[in-house]
Amino acid sequence: MRIKTLYLFLFLVTGMHQLSAQNTSSYADIENRFTKTELSQTDSLAFKKAGFQKAKSLFEFGDVYMSNSSNVSNQAFVIKHVPDLFYIPEGDTLNTDSVMFLVNTMITNEKPNSIDLTLVDKDGTLGHVFTSTKKLNFKADIIIVKVPKNFGNSEEKIWQVFLTNPLFW
């Protein structure tokens, strides 16, 4: 009986060690994804999915903005974070109020249905997202750019995904 218990214990310890090593390895792979000079196909797919999520977030922010019309602090949160979804060249600005007005118009026009986004490939970009709604539509490209980020006292350039060339029509 003791030998069986010993084998079971060794088996569990070995399995946990291997699982821990896999998690560490996976985390390191993901962390390195942001600083690589050349991206693998898996990296590109992960960034493409992140870009699609940013497009979805735009409409989620629109819901929060619209449903909190009497809560100025929640609307201020949205206004602060919406520009982070888009690549805005230095010296340019994003008219967040106009973007939120158009997003809210789309949401209102589609109620009770949600806004469906489609992701397709597009040369020169990670992808292209667009809506197919009845009255007003949105489209944007998904790009990846190395941008400087601060980590404590040091700064490092990392890959970041953005929406660019947004168009409402």
Residues 107 and 127 in one domain: yes
Averaged over 118-144, what is the pLDDT?
A: 93
Residue 16 structural domain? 1-33
- pLDDT one-digit tens code per residue, 5-25: 655 555 555 555 555 555 555
Q: How many alpha carbons lie under 13 Å from residue 130 in its C-beta half-sphere?
A: 13
The pLDDT of residue 7 is 54
CB neighbourhood size of 93 (10 A): 8
Residues 132 and 74 in one domain: yes
pTM of the model: 0.73
Percent of the chain beyond pLDDT 70? 78
> What single-letter DSSP state applies at residue 115?
P
Total domains in the chain come to: 2
Q: Map tokens 């390195």 to a residue.
A: 32
137, 130 contact by CB (below 8 A) = yes
Residues 152 and 88 in one domain: yes
CB neighbourhood size of 166 (10 A): 18
Binning pLDDT at 50, 70 and 90, where does residue 153 land? confident
Query: At residue 166, what are phi and psi to the nearest 5 degrees?
Result: -70, 145
At 89 the three-state DSSP class reads coil
Residues 87 and 122 in one domain: yes
- pLDDT one-digit tens code per residue, 50-98: 999 999 999 998 888 887 777 778 788 888 889 999 998 888 888 888 9
Residues 25 and 95 in one domain: no
Residues 153 and 114 in one domain: yes
Q: How many alpha carbons lie under 13 Å from residue 92 in its C-beta half-sphere?
A: 10
Residues 47 and 5 in one domain: no
